[in-house]
Amino acid sequence: MPKRWTLSGIAAALRDVYPAGLRGRADLPIRQVATLRDAESENIAFFANPKYRSQLAATRAGAVILTEAAGKDLPDGISALVVPHPYLYYAHVVALLNPGVKPPPGIHPAAVLEEGARVPDSCHIGAGAWIGAGAVLGERVEIHPRAVVGEGVRVGADSVIDSGAVLYPGCRIGKRAIVHSGAVIGADGFGFALDTTVNGAEHWVKIPQIGGVTIGDDVEIGANTTIDRGALEDTVIGDGVKLDNQIQIGHNCVIGAHTIIAGCVGIAGSARIGHHCAIGGAAMILGHLEIAPRTEISPGSMVMKSIVQSGKYTAIYPLETHAEWMKNASALRHASRLANRISALEKKQ
């Protein structure tokens, strides 16, 4: 970290994001962010969740980001930045104090650019990266070592394609994207027709996947996540969508803007997810259905039909000790008969 910060310096630097009220020592030196629990005197922490009030009371942080209302719980001698949205403000403070190291512009001698690839001088192309013919990169794009940018791919300005990620031919990525290592964008969708014309020797015939993938601006795609190309039209990822690791998105899905999806989620082909949805980890969404905007799906839940009404939906078998599970699962296998026995008892009364 080259630059040294003070509390008032942070407030000044972020004035355009949100003007914060400063309590306590304006000249307090701030070295780094930290949690309330682990912070020391040159750290700034945040307090947003009332659950952690005891941590606020005991913190040794130099300063805390919190709301006006929470200010009354601030221990004596601790400085503060007072804002309406502490966690959001904290996100900007982390970025301010940790600007990251942008690799320098230039093309590594061990990178390979095929004829007709358009790479502005402001781009960074790492060792062993491969840029196919006709690919077009925006300004300041970073292609890290061993990443593969297929023929005719377009990547918008300021995007980062990490080591070993693969963009299949023709995919379009917007601006300011982050595509983490091992992500695969644009592999063939899973489409086959069963050939039953030879009795007893049925086999699958591949349907060539002639659509592409279109990804909006400000999208982050986690490590080893896969997004298939469309069968006919494109698979579409809206602006601001955030995808965690190891997510699978089938062909022709449409993911609405600013939807956030946690790790290990699977979304089958042609599902349409609304904007501003939140899908919990390892949830599974079947194909050819629609999810209303601003719907929340709990982790591990299987969505088998369209959701018309936004809200929070869940489908999880509750965890038990194995011994209790053995008994309850056994009863569950007869749930329908239990219901019938209840009805029979009711009729007898």
Q: Which stretch binds its own copies (CB under 8 A): 52-60, 65-73, 74-82, 180-188?
A: 180-188
Can residue 42 be called a binding residue for its own copies (CB under 8 A)?
Answer: no
> Quick one: which of 30, 141, 168, 174 contacts its own copies (CB under 8 A)?
168
DSSP string, 189-228: P--EEEE-SSTT--EEEE------EEE-SS-EE-TT-EEP
15: left (phi over 0), alpha (psi -120 to 50) or beta: alpha
The side-by-side arrangement of strands in the sheet containing 184-185 is 112-113, 130-131, 148-149, 166-167, 184-185, 226-227, 248-249, 266-267, 284-285, 302-303
180 counts as binding its own copies under rule CB under 8 A: yes
- Nearer residue to its own copies within complex by CB, 9 or 134: 134
- Please, what is the minimum distance in Å from the beta carbon of residue 41 to its own copies? 17
Q: Are 281 and 300 in contact (CB under 8 A)?
A: yes
Confirm or reject binding of residue 264 to its own copies (CB under 8 A): yes
Question: Rule CB under 8 A: is residue 184 a binding residue for its own copies?
Answer: yes
Q: Does 31 bind its own copies (CB under 8 A)?
A: no
Q: What angle do CA 275, 187, 207 make, to 5 degrees?
A: 100
- The minimum distance between CB 127 and its own copies, in angstroms, equals 4
Stretch that binds its own copies, among 8-16, 66-74, 117-125, 206-214 (CB under 8 A): 206-214
Please give the structure tokens belonging to residue 251.
């062909």
Residue 263, both tokens:
């790790």
Q: Find the catalytic residue in 124, 180, 251, 258.
A: 251
How far is it, in rounded angstroms, from Cα 248 to Cα 228? 8
Coil, strand or helix at 127: coil
Q: Is 317 one of the binding residues for its own copies (CB under 8 A)?
A: yes
Asked whether position 95 contacts its own copies by CB under 8 A, the answer is yes
Residues between 75 and 94 with contacts to its own copies, criterion CB under 8 A: 85, 87-88, 90-92, 94
Concerning whether 92 is annotated as a catalytic residue, the answer is no
Among 69, 198, 308, 319, binds its own copies (CB under 8 A): 319
Instruction: State yes or no: residue 5 binds its own copies (CB under 8 A).
Output: no
Q: Which residues are the active-site residues? A: 251
